[in-house]
Amino acid sequence: MAAIPHHIAIVMDGNGRWATRRFLPRVAGHKKGLDALRVCVRHCGEVGVKVLTVFAFSSENWNRPPEEVSGLMELLAGALSREVPQLHGEGVRIHFIGDRSRLSDKVQAGLAQAEKATAGNTRLVFNICFNYGGRWDVAQAAACLAARGEPITEHSLDRAMALAHVSDPDLLIRTGGEQRISNFLLWQAAYSELYFSDKLWPDFDPAALDAAIADYGRRERRFGRTSEQTTPARQAA
């Protein structure tokens, strides 16, 4: 059986285009995107992925039209009440990653509550990056160390990053056809396998995820070594 990535990270891109193609408002695409995410989380649990990290709202997404930003905030608030009990029932542990200070007090309380309620779950760790940027993460980690008077090393920075509770992503997927990182996991994606899908996020179904996982299974991860070092069988051949 091909290797299943322990940690999958996803840039869920293409909601707006999905809606625009149907002459719908962009927020309708984000709603469909939430449906796709629900299915994706469940499928990850079923196939044995242990950590799923998704990019839901970037530090730069505040620059979108105000009605889209408020639609996304409402979607988050609604998801907190509607989705969390279900995820809890499925053994999912939720973490919100990002700068919460700009979110409303009510949403901040909802995030903390969701994390607390699911803290004992072990089936799947689900990190939701919201108001997140890779540069923000590096800067906040460095600021944290500086405030504590600790030396800045690769190890100490890594420990102070927002995803210190999980290993780095093995597979990083971006849907929607663009091939860029858009300020997602700049630090943690150092050795992630990258997979780009032309499917728009609302169309990214379990079969598409299986295809990405199968593609990952065919990659050779070398981490700077040679192919011969990585695959002993080749050395013998």
- Annotated catalytic residue, options 15, 61, 205, 210: 61
Quote the least distance from Cβ 214 to ligand IPE, whole Å: 23
Binding residues among 82-141 for ligand IPE as defined by CB under 6 A: none
CB of 101 to ligand IPE, least distance (A): 18
61 is catalytic: yes
123 binds, among ligand IPE, Mg ion, none (CB under 5 to 8 A by kind): none
- By CB under 6 A, the residues from 179 to 218 that bind ligand IPE are 180, 182
Q: How many CB atoms lie within 10 A of CB 214?
A: 10
Whole-angstrom distance, CA of residue 99 vs CA of residue 207: 33
User: How many whole angstroms separate alpha carbon 37 and alpha carbon 201?
Assistant: 9
The tokens describing 90, both together, are 């499925």
Q: Does 13 bind Mg ion (CB under 5 A)?
A: yes
- Of 16 and 169, the one with the shorter C-beta distance to ligand IPE is 16
With respect to ligand IPE, which residue has the nearer C-beta, 59 or 118? 59
The answer to whether 130 and 76 are in contact (CB under 8 A) is: yes
Largest CA distance in the chain: 62
Q: State which residue has the least CB distance to ligand IPE.
A: 16
DSSP states along 83-106: THHHHHHTTEEEEEES--TTS-HH
Stretch near Mg ion under the rule CB under 5 A, chosen from 6-14, 24-32, 37-45, 160-168: 6-14
CA distance 123 to 5: 15
| Residue of 13, 137, 168, 170 with catalytic role | 13
Which range binds ligand IPE by CB under 6 A, 54-62, 83-91, 115-123, 163-171?
54-62
User: What's the DSSP call for residue 203?
Assistant: G
Asked if 133 contacts 60 with a C-beta cutoff of 8 angstroms, the reply is: yes
For the segment 11-40, give every residue that binds ligand IPE (CB under 6 A).
Answer: 11-17
Q: Is 13 a catalytic residue?
A: yes
User: What is the Cβ-side half-sphere exposure of residue 114, based on CA atoms within 13 angstroms?
Assistant: 28
Return the active site residues: 13, 61
Chain residues binding Mg ion by CB under 5 A are 13
